[in-house]
Amino acid sequence: MDLQVESCDFDNIFDKVIMQGKFGVPYSTGKDELYLDYSKTGSPPAYKVRRSNPVLSLTKTLREEMPAQKLESNPQYVYPPDFDLDEVCERLTTGPGWAILRGMFTSEDIELATRAIFDGQVINTESNNFNNGNDESHNKFAGLMWGLLSKGEIFSKIISHPIIKEVSVKLLGKNCRLSSLASSTVMPGMKGQKPHLDYPYYRHMWPEGDTSMDHSPENLLSLQVVTLLTEFTPENGSTAIVPGSHIVPRHPDDVDEFFSKAIQLTANAGDVLMFSGPIQHCAMPNNSTKLRCGILQHMCPLYVVPFENIPPTGEENEEMRRILALDMPYPILKKK
């Protein structure tokens, strides 16, 4: 499948937003000095970031007039010209279990999302709970940041992309819903994530026995949709995936076997990576000098309990009401 669009002028969002010091992202591998004035004082939004690494040397102070939440995004969407719904869905189910949709978001959208995530946030690069043994321990990965919908309107726009809707509706049902929404950042020098399956393919939620999670690959209980805010490369920790491992879902207990079979994906900012919930995968270590970041939009059928509690604001439009399942009647209190 080749879903290339002609050109995506991303103007290197990372350099624009982060390397030029517009935002106080803690550009740290854990040991270098870091000063993030904004996070300590709350206001005014002036940032000072200092880092001792000469390659990345950043000493910047900058005033930002407009908080990222207030920035309005262009309501229009990009429709990759070669998008083929059937082909993508086949890849995600009976095929290798993953697909990349190229050029789904403009550089403007990517910049807005990047600003909203890194504006004054501290990313902890120290711990990643790689080995605590639980099927869901990957959710403690230090690079994950939750509650994105409250951080900017751009995230409602991103998760409502009509093509993401078409694929998730076809695979998960008309009333499929958001299960969780997080950004996943791998800072330079940071370790990777524990190989895992995505929610709810955790053994402790199922009747005991290896085969209890054996749904047919077309009957998905979760779909992961990753909108790339930076490029993903093997060097910077792009997602590793074992193609075909979703067909008979098994946890990657044998980590050596996982790494011997896994491939690492390469894609650009603005592309969307989709993969089947029961595929074996993980974020990988970042050996580059720039951070790697994607938005994880986890979708599930209406009848699956979502992972994250996302409180509504009361201002949701029709599509956001659908995605958040705000009109879902169950559980219901029956009086008679």
Ligand X SMILES: O=C(O)CCC(=O)C(=O)O
Please say whether the beta carbons of 20 and 49 come within 8 A: no
Is residue 198 near ligand X by the rule CB under 6 A? yes
Transcribe 96-128 into DSSP letters: SSEEEE-S-S-HHHHHHHHHHHHTT-----S--
Which residues contact Fe ion (rule: CB under 5 A)? 198
Is residue 296 near ligand X by the rule CB under 6 A? yes
Token duo for residue 185: 């950042």
Of the two residues 119 and 198, which places its CB atom closer to Fe ion in the complex? 198
Q: How far apart are CB 225 and Fe ion at their closest, in Å?
A: 11
Is residue 194 near ligand X by the rule CB under 6 A? no
Q: How far apart are CB 259 and Fe ion at their closest, in Å?
A: 16
The values of phi and psi at residue 70, to 5°, are -85, -15
Is residue 138 near ligand X by the rule CB under 6 A? yes
Site for ligand X in 217-246 (CB under 6 A): 239
From its phi and psi, is residue 202 left (phi > 0), alpha (psi between -120 and 50) or beta?
beta
Is residue 281 near ligand X by the rule CB under 6 A? yes
Report which secondary-structure segment, H or E, holds 93.
none
Burial of 104 (0-12, 13-18, 19+ CB in 10 A): buried
Q: Which partner from the list Fe ion, ligand X, none does 184 bind, CB cut-off 5 to 8 Å by kind?
A: ligand X
Is residue 294 near ligand X by the rule CB under 6 A? yes
Is residue 115 near ligand X by the rule CB under 6 A? no
Task: Give the torsion sign (CA, 130, 132, 133, 137).
Answer: negative
Q: How many residues touch ligand X (CB under 6 A)?
A: 12
Separation between Cα atoms, residue 255 and residue 252, nearest integer Å: 6
Strands 263-264 and 46-50: unpaired
Q: How far apart are CB 193 and Fe ion at their closest, in Å?
A: 7
Q: How far apart are CB 192 and ligand X at their closest, in Å?
A: 8
Among the listed ranges 56-64, 253-261, 281-289, 322-330, the one in contact with ligand X (CB under 6 A) is 281-289
∠ CA 90-91-94, nearest 5°, is: 65
Q: Which partner from the list ligand X, Fe ion, none does 229 bind, CB cut-off 5 to 8 Å by kind?
A: none
Q: Which partner from the list Fe ion, ligand X, none does 183 bind, CB cut-off 5 to 8 Å by kind?
A: none
The residues that touch ligand X, with contacts defined as CB under 6 A, are 138, 141, 144, 184, 193, 198, 239, 281-283, 294, 296
